[in-house]
Structures are given as structure tokens and as C-alpha cells.
Structure 1
């Protein structure tokens, strides 16, 4: 692996000159700049970001902490966040906690110790005090602290739109699935609005709460079978896309007509909702817009600007 000494030797300059070029410090003639860059390209030299960060105060590294990179919502957000960071000259460190709060603590300690410029957190831990983090932080659809800005979809609009779809379909008995209630997240708004809207039209709605960090599709199939066994008379199900797809799969296997006998509506709108037949109606979260705003808010903090608001709410689309 090439070192800064190798670059200096090939370019015919001192290590100090190469260092000043890399850190954009002091005057260096254009001819010398070109010579150094040619040496860097020839040797495929990669500066040590951490060592460079100790000198400049910036590493151009941002950590993304999520609970499960396989889960479509987080995978899609990770893709768009990395794209947005790349556009602005930052590299992303993906930290997949795999539902472990201890693993998340280790990642947060590592990011701060290695001087990451900022951290984006979308994990679902319930007993970590995020207000103690000294690095700039932005929350992805999580209420982490009163001092940490959160970016999320307009779940209130989403819940209201889904409720209207069930009302229009003529449903009489509905079940909705929601995530673990101790995880404080703006997404809980959609479930409250959904059940409230159905209640105003005298439509019974039962809410089933999932276990903490329950994201595996195999467990969703078990949940779907239990639902269909215990609620043979329901005619509507509202859930995030993967759970909705699991219910649809198990319902069709039992000969239940979808959507005529069982109306199923999803939420998230990643690529998975396009993989089934019959098509799954869903709410599409604004992935690209959320990623753009998350990165914009984080970079403003990195550059020392104060947060003008702690809540960024972005509208959803009905598919």
C-alpha cells in the first residue's frame, strides 16, 4: 500500500508539500499540484482519513446506524443516504446493529472515537441516552432526544389516506399491525390516525403490536397464519409492506380472494410492493427527499450552523 513518502518520492517533492496539498493548506504552484496528483493517481494512494481528520478537524466520514440492512425500508434509505453523502464529498460507514443495543453502543463509541463528522441514527434501541452524543446527529424516523432533529414522512397523511381506502372499500372488520410501542417514532401517528378515522365510521379496528425489532419475513408468515386462524371474519388488514405481503401470501394459499374478501393495504412503498400479484396498494415514503434533507441538516450541523427546527415532515404518496 502506497504511503505519503512514496508519493513525495515519485513527485520529487517533500512529504510536507504533499501534506499541504492533501490538506489544501498554503500556497502550492499549479505545476506542483499537477505533479503530486499524477503521483497519487499512479500509486493509487489513499490518504488516511482518520489521521487527516485529526489535523483538519474533519474526516469526511458519516455513520449510518440502522437495525437491519435487509429490511426494505432501511435498505432503501441507506442507498439514498449514501448517494446524497457522495454528492457532497462524504463517505458513509454503515452500522447494522442487528437488533443489538450493545452492538449499537459499540458502533456509536467507534464513530465518536474515530472522529466521524456526523451520525445518522434510525435504530430501534430503547435504553440509549442519545443526548450524550457529542457529534452532530440527525434521526431517521425516530424521536431520540429533544435536541436531535428528526426527519420523517407525513405519517398522519398516510394513515388518513389508508383509512379512507378501507372506508371506500366497504370494510367492516379491520386489523392493523404496528411496531413495538416503546420505540418512540413518528410512524406511530399513522396507526393512531388510522384507527381514529375508522372509529368515526363505526368500523371496528384491532391493533396488533409486533415484538421489538421483529423484521424477519419468516416470523411475518407465522403472524399472518395466526391472524387468519384467530380472526376468520376480518375483511381488512393494514400493515407495513412485508407484513402485508406475508398476509396476502397466506390468505391466497387458503383460497381467500384478495382484495374482494380481504382488502390488504401496505405502507413504505419500497421495491417489494411491486413483486406480488394481485398488486399491493401502499403508501410510498419519500425516500429520496428524506435522504436529501437528512444529509442537508447533518452537514449544516457539521459546519456549525444551529438547527432552525427539530422536526422535518415530508409528504407521502398513495400508490
Structure 2
């Protein structure tokens, strides 16, 4: 097995110089750096990660905690966060809690036992003391604690985009499907803004609240069946992509025309909206930019930098079938008045 001594001998430098290069400590000339790296590549040297961790007091490991890996939003987000961490020299430990608060607690304990340098948490548990985690934490689209920064898409902007599309389509009686209200999330801004715009333009809008950690397609299809049966006069729906696709599937099976009889507007913009037929207009969350910002904020916390800003939002875009990618800037005609509280109704399924 190739050792650091072998690298130093072939490169013609001291073991201390190789060690400083591997741990990015102290000044080393560019020529010496290039020489050491060429030697490492030549000898296929693999640094001892345990020894490096003891030296630097860092493991270069980051925990990512989500409720459901199979859900398109979380699977897409996982891919981008792993890529961004890798680009910054970190590895990711993924924990999918499978909607279980007990499993999430076990995951966090596991991450702490592995001495991760930090965590990005996007799970939906309600009774965990996130502020008490002894490691830097960044929240993904969740309000976990006042001391934990949160990164999300600009949901106000997203709600405006959806509202404008529904208004321009000429809908008069609309519904939106909202997440579980006890989960504190920036995403509720899109529901609030959407409902307010409907009220401002004299359009009836009812909001249907989903249950906690309700992510699977089969329950969505049952919800779609009940909703379409009980609300045949609704002509517009705003919902996340999977719910919108479930409703579209059932509506087409019932003989309704899309978008003539029922106008659907989605939210998320992962790969699934591309399978819709007819095409599904949707707000596209900026996965790569969210990942970049979340990782950047977390690394700054790991490095001891003071984080003054606690909320970070990233602009969204939208897919409109007739116009392809639409810049989210063109929202001038929609008011930003936000004084109306929307109506909440639980869909008991």
C-alpha cells in the first residue's frame, strides 16, 4: 500500500510538506503543489481519511435528512446537493426518515455518531429540538428554529406566477391543494399569495389541506377521485406537480377536457411534469441554485463564519406549454396586496 512517505520520496519533498498539501495548511508554492498532485496521481495514493479527520478536526461529511427519497422533489434535490457537496470537497450521508419522527431522531443520532461536519435538514417532523443539535444545521424549505437559517425557492414569486396564469385563463371557481399547516414552511407563502390574488380578482378560491407527510401517488389518486366527484363546478386547480398529475389523470378518465374544462397549474418542476399529456404548466423550483446556496451557507457555518441572514430565497421560473420557459420577472400586472387570509378546508381522506 502506498504511504505518505512514498509520495514524499518520489516527489522529492518532506512528509510534512505532503501533509500540509493534503490538509491545505500553510504556504506551498504552485510548482510544489503541482508536483505533489502529479505524484499522488502516479502512485494512486489514497489519503488516510481517519488520520486527516483527527488532524483537521473535520470529517468532510455532511448529513442530508429528508422525509421521502422517492418523491420527485426530494430525489431531485438530493442529486443537486450531493453534486454541490462533492464540488466543495464533501461527501453526503443521506437519511430518508420514511415519515417517521422516531426514525429521524435515530438518523440524527447516527449522523452525530459519525461526526458529520454539518447537516441539511428538509424533513417534516414536528417535535424535534433542532436547535439542540450539536452541529451546524441549514434548513431546506422548513422553519426549524430561529437560530437555523432556511433556504428555499421564492414562493411569493411562484404564487404570483400561478395566480396570473389562472386569471389569464379565465377561471372563475378554483381550488388549491396546500401542505400540512402545522409544518412551518416558506412554501405557505405561495398558497397565501395565490388565494389573495383570487380574492382580489373576484375568483372563488377554496384551499384543501393535505395530511402530514402525504407524498405517494396512490393517495393522491384517491384524493383526486373524491375531489372531482364532490367539486364538479371547479374550473381551475393549483397544486404540486404530483397532485396535479393525479387530478389530470382522473379528470381525463371522467371525460373532462384539459385545459378547456379544467385548467391545472403545477408547482415544483422536477422531471415528472414533462410526462404530462396534455402538457402541465408549472412553477419550476431552482434546484441547482437552492443546493448551491444551502451548501454555501452550511460551509460558512462550519468554518465559524457569523451568519447574519436567516432566510435565503432563490428566484423561480415557470414552464408554460405555449411559451416554454417564462422568466418569472413578468409579473407587473398582478398586485402584491397581501391582506386577505385564505380559507382552509381539510380533505379528510
Q: After the TM superposition, which residues 79-90 of structure 1 pair with which residues of structure 2 at under 5 Å, given as runs?
A: 79-90=79-90
Q: Does the 8 Å contact 1:7/1:40 carry over to 2?
A: no
Match of 1:228 in 2: 228
Where structure 1 has 5 or more consecutive residues not aligned to the other structure, the ranges are: none
1:64 aligns with 2:70: no
Deviation at 1:131, TM superposition (A): 0.5
Q: Give the SS at the match of 1:186.
A: coil
Where structure 2 has 5 or more consecutive residues not aligned to the other structure, the ranges are: 320-349
Q: Give the SS at the match of 1:197.
A: helix
User: What is the distance in 1 between the residues matched to 2:43 and 2:233?
Assistant: 69
Match of 2:176 in 1: 176
Match of 1:37 in 2: 40
User: What is the distance in 1 between the residues matched to 2:315 and 2:7?
Assistant: 53
1:188 aligns with 2:184: no
Q: Does the 8 Å contact 2:7/2:36 carry over to 1?
A: no
User: What is the distance in 2 between the residues matched to 1:153 and 1:26?
Assistant: 39
Q: After the TM superposition, which residues 65-214 of structure 1 pair with which residues of structure 2 at under 5 Å, given as runs?
A: 65-214=65-214
Aligned length: 310
Q: After the TM superposition, which residues 1-40 of structure 1 pair with which residues of structure 2 at under 5 Å, given as runs?
A: 7=3, 17=15, 20=19, 23=23, 37=40
User: What is the distance in 1 between the residues matched to 2:126 and 2:309?
Assistant: 24
User: What is the distance in 2 between the residues matched to 1:151 and 1:318?
Assistant: 19
Q: Give the SS at the match of 1:109.
A: helix
User: What is the distance in 1 between the residues matched to 2:19 and 2:251?
Assistant: 66
User: What is the distance in 1 between the residues matched to 2:79 and 2:57?
Assistant: 27
User: What is the distance in 1 between the residues matched to 2:111 and 2:49?
Assistant: 16
1:317 aligns with 2:317: yes
Q: Does the 8 Å contact 1:8/1:36 carry over to 2?
A: no
Match of 1:268 in 2: 268
User: What is the distance in 1 between the residues matched to 2:77 and 2:171?
Assistant: 33
Over aligned residues, Cα RMSD in angstroms? 2.5
Q: Give the SS at the match of 1:306.
A: coil
User: What is the distance in 2 between the residues matched to 1:292 and 1:26?
Assistant: 28
Q: Which shifted more, 195-204 or 51-60?
A: 51-60
User: What is the distance in 2 between the residues matched to 1:141 and 1:179?
Assistant: 12
Q: Does the 8 Å contact 1:154/1:316 carry over to 2?
A: yes
User: What is the distance in 2 between the residues matched to 1:85 and 1:25?
Assistant: 21
Q: Give the SS at the match of 1:221.
A: helix
Q: Does the 8 Å contact 1:176/1:237 carry over to 2?
A: yes
Length-normalised TM-score, structure 1: 0.89
Q: Does the 8 Å contact 1:138/1:148 carry over to 2?
A: yes
User: What is the distance in 2 between the residues matched to 1:307 and 1:129?
Assistant: 20
User: What is the distance in 1 between the residues matched to 2:154 and 2:37?
Assistant: 49
User: Are residues 38 and 227 of structure 1, via their aligned partners in 2, closer, same or farther at CA, if it must alter by over 3 Å?
Assistant: closer
User: What is the distance in 2 between the residues matched to 1:12 and 1:169?
Assistant: 70
1:250 aligns with 2:253: no
Deviation at 1:200, TM superposition (A): 1.4
Deviation at 1:9, TM superposition (A): 8.7
Deviation at 1:55, TM superposition (A): 3.2
Q: Give the SS at the match of 2:289.
A: helix
Match of 2:298 in 1: 298
User: What is the distance in 1 between the residues matched to 2:187 and 2:91?
Assistant: 28
User: What is the distance in 2 between the residues matched to 1:130 and 1:81?
Assistant: 20
User: What is the distance in 1 between the residues matched to 2:304 and 2:232?
Assistant: 57
Deviation at 1:126, TM superposition (A): 0.7
